[in-house]
Amino acid sequence: MDIALPYGTQSECGFIIQNTQAVNLPPQLTINETTATTSLVEIVNNSLNNPTEFPALSDTIFPGDTLAIAVEADLPKCGELLHAMLSYLRTNTVLSANDITIIYGGNTNQFKSLALPELLADIFDNDLKYEVHLPEESEKQAFLATAESGEPIRFNKTLVDVDIVIPLSVQLPNTLSDHTGFYHCLYPTFADHAAQSQINKDSTENKTQPSQDAITTAAMLGVQFIIKVTPGIGDEIINFAAGEIKTLASQLDSSEQLYPEWDAAQLTVGTISGHTSCNSWETIARALNTLADVTLESGTIVLCTEMDEEMPSILNALRAPDSLEDIEYHLEQQSSPHLQIARTLFELRDLFHICLLSNHDSADVESLGIAPIEDVAQIQKLVDASPSVNCVIDAHRITFR
């Protein structure tokens, strides 16, 4: 059986599985693909004019309003979605470019890879305002509310100051590592460094409910309307939902991203596909957690990406020649929004043999206790040696739980 798993923007991980090997294939490879007949522009316009339990968006925006679109990272077709949404605002409201700010929740390199200023330059007469949320820059945060712990919630100042905040976000299963529910697209994504670090420090096994702090944040910002995009393979979209935030929070179902129960395999091959902006250490951590759920202990996990994002400094702790106890203690003392990434790699590399195909230097990958894969042909050798194989496309976006 010939298998071809897409990863990155246009790459494929191809290998052959023998009939004698037990194998589970992702649903995307076992059903007939259907071609959407409705354009993305038409879908966006229809959804904004007829949102769930909410007036047409154009009826809720008035002269003098300022608006911020809070864009979550890992959003499929990000540029196309924003183009359609901004064109709707240009046609149906009195807003000008000066009234609108696009705030990106990923890092600077992810934002640059999207080339949004160039893609969106033809909509308004003037240039739109863009901002990358930088949680470590305290002067760009403002007090919003008090957390359950009694600590202040400091939040992106632009989002606090504008009249209307519209989250443009990804619908992901709550059980994915580092994704704490429906309101994650606001909190902690656009909170300050302290809040993001605390969320990571508090994270134990997968949370399934949004925190009260996340719900409070949405309420204090006055967010009533939200857009949720459910991703398909790579940069595809399988559902676009817009409407009243609490209604969508209760209605949206992540079943499209829930795989059926699979037996664990000796070898699991997973991928991360889509735009370059989707390739980050956060998505790698989420993907590895998913792949671990269907891999036998002491088995092998292979993850294929095109990622070359700089490694977070906290990962240096994994390179230390210390005992496992010492490394674990060192991680617990850290205050970093990347703490959960380090925890995931630390825990899983002790339980599985992890292999990574990426654009990183092989020596850097190996220093983390991960085996670098430099060629897809190496994966075929692992497949040949394994009695059972699981294949998972876009493991950072689905769950088995």
Segment 139-186, tens digit of pLDDT: 999 999 998 888 899 999 999 999 999 999 998 876 665 566 788 889
- In percent, the amount of the chain with pLDDT more than 90 equals 59
pLDDT value of position 321:
67
- pLDDT confidence bin for 205, thresholds 50/70/90: very low
Query: Is the pLDDT assigned to residue 192 strictly greater than 90?
Result: yes
Residue 362 backbone class (left: φ over 0; alpha: ψ -120 to 50; beta: rest): alpha
Taking residues 38-43, report their average pLDDT: 92
How far apart, in whole angstroms, are the C-alpha atoms of residue 169 and residue 100? 17
Query: Residues 137, 107: contact at Cβ < 8 Å?
Result: no
37 has a pLDDT exceeding 70: no
Query: According to the model, what pLDDT value does residue 49 have?
Result: 98
Residue 29's pLDDT is 61
pLDDT at 303: 97
Classified as helix, coil or strand, 7 is strand
322 close to 346: Cβ distance less than 8 angstroms: no
Query: What confidence tens digit (pLDDT) does each residue in 16-36 have?
Result: 999 888 888 877 665 444 445
Q: Is 80 exceeded by the pLDDT of residue 198? A: no
Whole-number pLDDT of residue 371:
96
Given a contact cutoff of 8 angstroms between Cβ atoms, the answer to whether 72 and 107 are in contact is no
Is the pLDDT reported for residue 202 higher than 70?
no
Q: What is the mean pLDDT of the chain?
A: 88
How far apart are the C-alpha atoms of 352 and 120, rounded to whole Å? 44
Residues 176 and 290 sit within 8 Å (Cβ to Cβ): yes
What's the pTM? Answer: 0.85
pLDDT one-digit tens code per residue, 291-308: 999 999 999 999 999 988
pLDDT at 132: 97
Domains of the chain in sequence order: 2-26+259-392 (3.90.226.30), 40-255 (3.40.50.11440)
Give the confidence band of 253 by pLDDT, cuts at 50, 70, 90.
low
- Residue 31 pLDDT: 42
pLDDT of residue 32: 41
Helix, strand or coil for residue 130? Answer: strand
Candidate from 74-83, 123-132, 274-283 with smallest mean pLDDT: 274-283
pLDDT at 35: 43
Q: Is the dihedral of CA 26, 29, 33, 36 positive or negative?
A: positive
Burial class (CB in 10 A: 0-12, 13-18, 19+), 10: exposed
Residue-level pLDDT at 180: 63
pLDDT number for residue 365: 93
Buried b (16+ CB within 10 A) or exposed e, 14-28: ebebeeebebbbbeb
102-122 confidence digits (pLDDT tens): 999 998 989 999 999 999 999
Residue 98 DSSP symbol: G
Q: Is the pLDDT of residue 238 over 90?
A: no
